[in-house]
């Protein structure tokens, strides 16, 4: 059932698609940034500060989505012994770490003019900070533990346990009284954000997804070689 995830498949994908993905990335970034910085209207309360949203929100989404993939991959690797999924998780982790850091930093920069403080230990901010720490732990364990098999097992456990935090981040604004506003875009209701802001937001998210995919494919080619060396 996991035949589609064979290493050769991703090797071929990396070799044939990275160039075109770079072209798409450049085009999408240019369109997204122009719409976000030039044509997107200012907020009547936040003024131009609202433009931080176009970096903060996509970074937050991607950091959550990547860790979700890491957790699922860790489960498959640990329970079903399909070890290549550990390679996928290891390749994705530094990408998710960077985007989670961008999310926290831009959120703080956005929070100060909006809330009057760079940081508040409310539900959303605290759970995002825990996600950053989980990413740091996951990446650090791969660097610290020299035995590949031991590092693989321990990081798989971290990835699975870390999944507990994903729904906490998602529903924190509903479960607790927080400074962070509720989600403007959900799968169960129409967006509450105007189309003039929604369009650049989605384009920037798409751009970051393409960037993440490019970095993942590059890292995967290195990590699968490392995996094969340590597997012998």
**Are 215 and 93 contacting, i.e. CB atoms less than 8 angstroms apart?**
no
Mapping DSSP to helix (H, G, I), strand (E, B) and coil, where does residue 124 land?
A: helix
- The per-residue pLDDT of the chain, averaged, comes to 87
Structure confidence at residue 181 as a pLDDT band (50, 70, 90): low
What is the pLDDT at residue 188?
Answer: 55
Q: Specify the DSSP element, H or E, that contains 24.
A: helix 7-34
Quick: pLDDT tens for 38-64. 989 887 777 888 899 999 999 999 999
What DSSP designation does 166 have? H
- pLDDT: which is higher, 109 or 136: 136
User: Residue 124: is it exposed, middle or buried by C-beta count within 10 angstroms (0-12/13-18/19+)?
Assistant: buried
For the chain, report the end-to-end CA distance as a whole number of angstroms: 25
pTM of the model: 0.91
Structure confidence at residue 186 as a pLDDT band (50, 70, 90): low
What DSSP designation does 48 have? G
Q: Which tokens go with 170?
A: 């998602």
Average pLDDT for residues 23-46, to the nearest whole number? Answer: 91
Tracing tokens 């604004």 back to the chain, one arrives at 173
**Are 43 and 49 contacting, i.e. CB atoms less than 8 angstroms apart?**
yes
Quick: pLDDT tens for 129-146. 999 999 999 999 999 999
Centre a 10 Å sphere on the Cβ of residue 33 and count the other Cβ atoms it contains: 16
Centre a 10 Å sphere on the Cβ of residue 151 and count the other Cβ atoms it contains: 18
Mapping DSSP to helix (H, G, I), strand (E, B) and coil, where does residue 43 land?
A: strand
47: left (phi over 0), alpha (psi -120 to 50) or beta: left
CA distance 232 to 229: 6
């Amino acid at each position: 059932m996991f035949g589609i995830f064979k290493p050769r498949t991703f090797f071929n994908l990396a070799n044939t698609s990275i160039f075109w993905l770079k072209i798409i990335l450049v085009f999408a970034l240019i369109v997204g940034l122009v719409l976000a910085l030039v044509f997107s209207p200012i907020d009547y309360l936040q003024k131009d500060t609202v433009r931080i949203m176009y970096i903060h929100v996509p970074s937050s989404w991607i950091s959550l989505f990547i860790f979700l993939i890491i957790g699922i991959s860790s489960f498959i690797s640990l329970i079903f012994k399909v070890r290549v999924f550990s390679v996928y998780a290891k390749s994705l982790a530094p990408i998710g770490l960077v985007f989670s850091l961008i999310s926290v930093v831009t959120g703080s920069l956005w929070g100060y003019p909006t809330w009057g403080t760079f940081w508040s230990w409310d539900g959303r901010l605290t759970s995002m900070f825990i996600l950053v720490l989980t990413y740091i732990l996951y990446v650090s364990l791969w660097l610290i533990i020299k035995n590949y098999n031991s590092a693989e097992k321990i990081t798989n456990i971290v990835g699975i346990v870390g999944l507990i935090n994903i729904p906490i981040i998602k529903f924190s604004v509903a479960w607790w009284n927080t400074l962070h506003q509720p989600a403007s875009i959900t799968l169960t209701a129409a967006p509450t954000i105007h189309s003039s802001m929604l369009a650049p937001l989605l384009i920037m998210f798409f751009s970051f997804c393409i960037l993440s995919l490019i970095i993942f494919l590059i890292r995967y080619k290195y990590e699968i070689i490392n995996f094969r060396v340590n597997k012998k």
